[in-house]
Structure 1
Amino acid sequence: MSQKHPVIAVTGSSGAGTSTVKTSFEHIFRREKLTAAVIEGDSFHRYDREAMKQAVAESEKNGNRPISHFGPEANEFEKLEALFKEYGEKGTGQKRLYLHNEEEAAPWNQKPGTFTPWSQIPAGSDLLFYEGLHGGAKSDTADAAKYVDLLVGVVPIVNLEWIQKIYRDTSARGYSAEAVTHTILRRMHDYVHYITPQFSRTHINFQRVPTVDTSNPFIAREIPTLDESMVVIRFRHPETTDFPFLLRMIHDSFMSRPNTIVVPGGKMGMAIELILTPLILDIVAKSRA
């Protein structure tokens, strides 16, 4: 961790809703006039789209455990750790983009599913902001989490996570429901060993819990809305949190444990900004001092 060049990371599984939380961070950065060096987690995958298909097929031969985007075999954990470390020390480092679709790929004159060349993060940013699968990643050869100053987890209950993933991948990415289900099953080992352990390293977790029936996520046809949910927010250091202030500001919120506050789903964005703005400003103020 570095007080000179802060590293902030939002981590969550595929379909967890980290993009929604990223929007709240963007509001904070814009309002507080902070310049963030933004890092997308997909850019630290080890393989492009075609190479990943081949690597998965090869790993599944003879009944072996398949690799997945959740685990270390398909990701550059060492490079991610090196980036967090270098940015914390010098305020710079190497980044690239993963081009998901035709729209993203067109300006680069590349195919979708490929990476842009590595480039240097411009000098002068106030902080590094990572959003993706592995902000708190740890393996036998790398520990990215130890260089993160503020680690935020986005963790819907698993059935909701699967509903969101199935809906997104079938409607926006053209996959069949059967193919998405196969991906969920293929990733399960890595999900248990490399995704969920991150949420014991986070400083704050936002967990969305639907108040409607999600008992069979594989037949769900729509995603429960925020207004059909509650959000459970867990703090690693509750002693530094002004819970009376949050309870006054967020209508219908309540505390379920000494380190946990529950808010209506529709107030999730408001809760994120109320909770994280003072933490970010404190981190940045220390770095400038």
Structure 2
Amino acid sequence: MSAKHPIIAVTGSSGAGTTTSAEAFRKMFNMMGAKAAWVEGDSFHRYTRREMDVEVQKAEEQGKHISYFGSQANDFKALEQFFRTFGDEGKGRFRRYLHTFDEAVPYNQMPGTFTPWQDLPEDSDVLFYEGLHGGVVDGDINVAQHVDFLIGMVPIVNLEWIQKFVRDTQDRGHSREAVMNSIVRSMDDYLNYITPQFSRTHVNFQRVPTVDTSNPFSAMAIPSLDESFVVIRMRGMKNIDFPYLLAMIDGSFMSRHNTLVVPGGKMSFAMELIIRPALQQLIETGKIG
């Protein structure tokens, strides 16, 4: 971790809402006047979409599985080195994975490909990462140790599947069968690489719907924030004024000594109240709490 070049990571599986949370952080950085470098975890995938399809087919022929959750499809070593370099020097190189035609057209490329590698903006105050593996540990590779502030976005699993299913079929053009196969194929890697990260986070935001999500694959729409509660667990964060949070967030309550529950529509407000002071302190001192 680096006091001079802090790293903030929002981690969560595909469809978990990490991109939505990034907008809340963008607002907070703007309000604080902090210059953030933005990096998506997809930058460190090993394969283009076409290459990944080939790898999936090879694995299936061998009775194995490969997914974007696991180490085979991602370069964890490169991600750790990227974080280390930024922490030491405030520098690094990144690229973008282009999911859709709308994203790809400005680059004159096809969806499912990478942009060329490029340097991070100079004089960045902080690195902001959002993606699958901000807190991953795999053998000798420890990405989490380089992150100064780690936030988990963790909807309950049926909601996560609904979000992925709706997004991938409606926004990314994947078939229903392809999305379901992807979920099944990803399960081992999900258990081994994704879920352990949420025990390393400083704070988790877990959205729990208050509507029936029993069959996530029959859902036509994602439950709204107003149809949810958000369970917020904090760990290793000092000086959290829970009475103040309860007074400020209407309808909130404590479920455990370190866990605040808020109405879903208040999630962005709660994020700002909880995270903004920690961000300010991190940027000024290099420490959380």
Q: Normalising by structure 1, what TM-score?
A: 0.96
Secondary structure, counterpart of 1:272 in structure 2: helix
Name whichever of 97-106 and 81-90 sits farther off.
Answer: 97-106
Match of 1:24 in 2: 24
Match of 2:219 in 1: 220
Q: Please list, as runs of the form range in 1=range in 2, the aligned pairs for 1:1-289 lying within 5 A after superposition.
A: 1-63=1-63, 65-237=64-236, 239-287=238-286
User: Structure 2 stretches of 5 or more lacking a match?
Assistant: none
Structure 2 CA distance, aligned partners of 1:207 and 1:102? 31
1:109 Cα deviation from its structure 2 partner: 2.1
1:287 Cα deviation from its structure 2 partner: 4.7
1:238 Cα deviation from its structure 2 partner: 5.4
Structure 1 CA distance, aligned partners of 2:268 and 2:145? 27
1:103 Cα deviation from its structure 2 partner: 2.1
Percentage identity across paired residues of the two chains? 58
Structure 2 CA distance, aligned partners of 1:55 and 1:142? 23
Structure 2 CA distance, aligned partners of 1:235 and 1:26? 21
CA RMSD, Structure 1 to Structure 2 (Å): 1.3
Counterpart amino acid of residue 148 in structure 2: D
Structure 2 CA distance, aligned partners of 1:169 and 1:97? 18
Secondary structure, counterpart of 1:151 in structure 2: strand
Secondary structure, counterpart of 1:208 in structure 2: strand
Structure 1 CA distance, aligned partners of 2:80 and 2:104? 27
Counterpart amino acid of residue 2 in structure 1: S
Counterpart amino acid of residue 264 in structure 2: G
Tell me if the contact between 1:78 and 1:141 (Cα under 8 Å) persists in the aligned partners. Answer: no
1:49 Cα deviation from its structure 2 partner: 0.9
Tell me if the contact between 2:202 and 2:237 (Cα under 8 Å) persists in the aligned partners. Answer: no
Tell me if the contact between 1:238 and 1:258 (Cα under 8 Å) persists in the aligned partners. Answer: no
Tell me if the contact between 1:237 and 1:259 (Cα under 8 Å) persists in the aligned partners. Answer: no
1:279 Cα deviation from its structure 2 partner: 0.5
Counterpart amino acid of residue 162 in structure 1: W
Name whichever of 262-271 and 53-62 sits farther off.
Answer: 53-62
Structure 1 CA distance, aligned partners of 2:178 and 2:53? 13
Structure 1 CA distance, aligned partners of 2:273 and 2:97? 32
Number of residue pairs the alignment of both structures matches: 287
Q: C-alpha offsets along residues 255-286 of structure 1, whole Å, 9 cap, x if unaligned?
A: 00001000000000100111110000001111
Q: Normalising by structure 2, what TM-score?
A: 0.96
Counterpart amino acid of residue 8 in structure 1: I
Structure 2 CA distance, aligned partners of 1:120 and 1:262? 40
Structure 2 CA distance, aligned partners of 1:62 and 1:47? 19
1:176 Cα deviation from its structure 2 partner: 2.2
Structure 1 CA distance, aligned partners of 2:62 and 2:41? 31
Secondary structure, counterpart of 1:240 in structure 2: coil
Structure 1 CA distance, aligned partners of 2:106 and 2:168? 24
Tell me if the contact between 1:207 and 1:232 (Cα under 8 Å) persists in the aligned partners. Answer: yes
1:107 Cα deviation from its structure 2 partner: 2.4
Structure 1 CA distance, aligned partners of 2:108 and 2:224? 37
Tell me if the contact between 1:159 and 1:217 (Cα under 8 Å) persists in the aligned partners. Answer: yes
